[in-house]
Chain A
Amino acid sequence: MMNFNGRQQETKKSPAVTMKAIAGFILILGFTNVFSLTSHFSTTSLTIKYPLSQQFNSRSAIYFQTNHVRSLSHHSDTLHKSVQLATTTNSGMTEYEDLSEDEKRELGQSKTATPSSTSFKMNKEAFIFMTLLAIQFGIQPGLVRAYIPQTICKSSVVLVQEFLKFFFAAVSLFASGKETVSKAVKGAYKIDFGLDENVSHFFCILILELYVSCYG
């Protein structure tokens, strides 16, 4: 069994105290997150499915209007991405896009109040990716402690890591569609297509080569 506690065990607590503490931790976190997520998703779905003016009396309308505003305020948070962007992971992946696809759609639907069959699908995608992120974030420290020896050359690990990130980013770029790739590469190529011979130029030509090899 993988030892997620790592090599350096610190002071051990009695099982009863530990279990009580874990239970409390799980309860608090669980309630906080489940309620937050549930209210977020459910508010959005109510906003989409039931136009406020048609479905509710004044009192409930105020209640749902409040939730609606809260929901929208949540979405508007993404406009202030400075800190969230800066707290980007150590992967170096940036998040400087504007509103997410989900948020754009939700905002759009809340204006039109027309349900869409793709809404659930997209929420499902968001949920799956969030789950994957939580799992990755949760298991990563344990995996590193279990499988990366202390005596390993750290530069070799980071170099392979950077190469894999480059590879995965390239795969993601090409998987995002022909138009997206074309737009991204053309933009970069157009900017770099000057007389200056530099790394940036070389890099863009490399991208173009990959693009040509993939899409002919």
Chain B
Amino acid sequence: MDKKDWKFSTTIKIAGIPAFLYLIQNLSSLLAYQNLQPLTFNVLNQTKTLSAALCCYFVMGRKQSKKQVGSLFLLLGSALVMEKIVPLPFLSVGTAGGAAASLTMSTLHWTHGVAPILLASFISGLAGALCQKNLQSASGCGKSGGRNPFLFSMEMNFFSMCILLTSMLVSNDGKYIVANGFFHNWTPKTIIPVITNALGGIIVGLVTKYAGSVKKGFALIFGILISGILQAAGSGGGVQIEQIIGGVMAALSLWIHTAFPYREQSVNSKLK
């Protein structure tokens, strides 16, 4: 059989493994969504840029520009500031009780919020790098560059559903569904975030198509801003100073990372 033919094993490799990874990512993200504040979630979610950069480097050998490396450290710093791992002494006046709060922060916040989103971010970077490597490799798919992104997305969703359904045969979720029904604890409004999340994937594709990745980065920065405003405007609380500083750092990092990519040409020209 021709190497370029699309075998089942190849299909599994191209779409199956990333689908499995994205499935874990989706479950982790859902858990984190429920246990983290919006702004915290969106900023920590951006650490996938860091994992993507690392995975692309180790999997594909893709390099980063110096500014991008700096932006990744800035991103890491934003996550550390936001989670108060790196304290900000000059904010002690404005954040009275912040240190105490960080000490008494519930274990649930870490185990069901921070850890899942960091796992999801890492998996996102790994899955993305694997996807790209498999799609570009000759053994993956002969004319991968011509594959329709929507078709590929459908493939991955199909595999995700298959894996999830199979896992339900043995998992506690499966037993729970058998005992209580599939839509137990669902409300009519539950479908709203599910739909918006699904639509988000399509919108990302459209933004990339019509605006490109750079402008997509700006849109995500605005998204962080919106989540911050909504969180601040919500009843019974507000935005903490660490979240604001972390948000600004993450936004700046995102901008630097998208605006100053690594260029092979500049290196070549210097050599000449």
**Chain A residues close to B by CB (< 8 Å):** 1-6, 8-15, 17-18, 21-22, 24-26, 28-30, 32-33, 36-37, 40, 73-78, 80-97, 99-103, 122, 125-127, 129-170, 172-173, 176, 180, 183-185, 187-188, 191-192, 194, 196, 198-200, 203, 207
Contact of A95 among B7, B64, B204 (CB under 8 A): B204
Would A25 and B228 count as touching, CB distance under 8 A? yes
Residues of chain B contacted by A6 (CB below 8 angstroms): 36-38
Would B232 and A18 count as touching, CB distance under 8 A? yes
Would B190 and A148 count as touching, CB distance under 8 A? yes
- Tell me, yes or no, whether B73 is within 8 Å of chain A by CB: no
Would B8 and A198 count as touching, CB distance under 8 A? yes
Given contacts A5-B37, A86-B129, contact A184 B151 (CB under 8 A): yes
In this complex, the member of A83, A103, A192 whose beta carbon has the largest number of chain B beta carbons within 10 angstroms is A83
Contact of B220 among A15, A92, A134 (CB under 8 A): A134
Nearest 7 A-B pairs (CB), nearest first?
A91-B201, A138-B226, A86-B128, A137-B223, A198-B8, A86-B52, A184-B148
Min CB gap B114→A, angstroms: 13
Contact of A200 among B8, B109, B191 (CB under 8 A): B8
Would A91 and B198 count as touching, CB distance under 8 A? yes
Given contacts A132-B203, A168-B201, contact A83 B231 (CB under 8 A): no
* A/B interface sample: 11 pairs, CB < 8 A: A25-B228, A33-B251, A80-B263, A86-B56, A92-B156, A100-B209, A130-B211, A138-B223, A143-B193, A153-B177, A164-B194
Would A137 and B193 count as touching, CB distance under 8 A? no
Min CB gap B138→A, angstroms: 14
DSSP class of A's interface residues: helix, strand, loop or mixed? helix
Would A89 and B125 count as touching, CB distance under 8 A? no
Alpha-carbon separation in the docked complex, A178 to B59 (Å): 37
Alpha-carbon separation in the docked complex, A100 to B241 (Å): 38
Given contacts A136-B203, A158-B164, contact A32 B210 (CB under 8 A): no
Min CB gap A214→B, angstroms: 14
Would A80 and B261 count as touching, CB distance under 8 A? yes
Contact of B150 among A26, A152, A169, A199 (CB under 8 A): A169
Chain B contacts with A in 180-232, Cβ cutoff 8 A: 180, 182-187, 189-232
Contact of B168 among A84, A90, A101, A155 (CB under 8 A): A155
Would A83 and B257 count as touching, CB distance under 8 A? yes
Residues of chain A contacted by B215 (CB below 8 angstroms): 37, 40, 126, 130
Task: Name the CB-closest residue of B to A138.
Answer: B226
Given contacts A6-B38, A136-B203, A176-B150, contact A78 B214 (CB under 8 A): yes
- Tell me, yes or no, whether B86 is within 8 Å of chain A by CB: no
Would B18 and A26 count as touching, CB distance under 8 A? no
Would A94 and B131 count as touching, CB distance under 8 A? yes
Residue-wise, chain B 94-116 has the 8 Å CB interface mask toward A (1 for contact) of: 11011001000110110000000
- Tell me, yes or no, whether B137 is within 8 Å of chain A by CB: no
Task: Name the CB-closest residue of A to B48.
Answer: A87
Would A95 and B203 count as touching, CB distance under 8 A? no
Residues of chain A contacted by B176 (CB below 8 angstroms): 153
Would B154 and A32 count as touching, CB distance under 8 A? no
Would A86 and B132 count as touching, CB distance under 8 A? yes
Residues of chain B contacted by A145 (CB below 8 angstroms): 33-34, 38
Task: Name the CB-closest residue of A to B164.
Answer: A159
Min CB gap A157→B, angstroms: 6
Given contacts A92-B153, A96-B145, contact A13 B241 (CB under 8 A): yes
Residues of chain B contacted by A22 (CB below 8 angstroms): 228-229, 232, 238-239, 244
Contact of A8 among B109, B144, B195, B231 (CB under 8 A): B109
Task: Name the CB-closest residue of A to B232.
Answer: A22
- Tell me, yes or no, whether B236 is within 8 Å of chain A by CB: yes
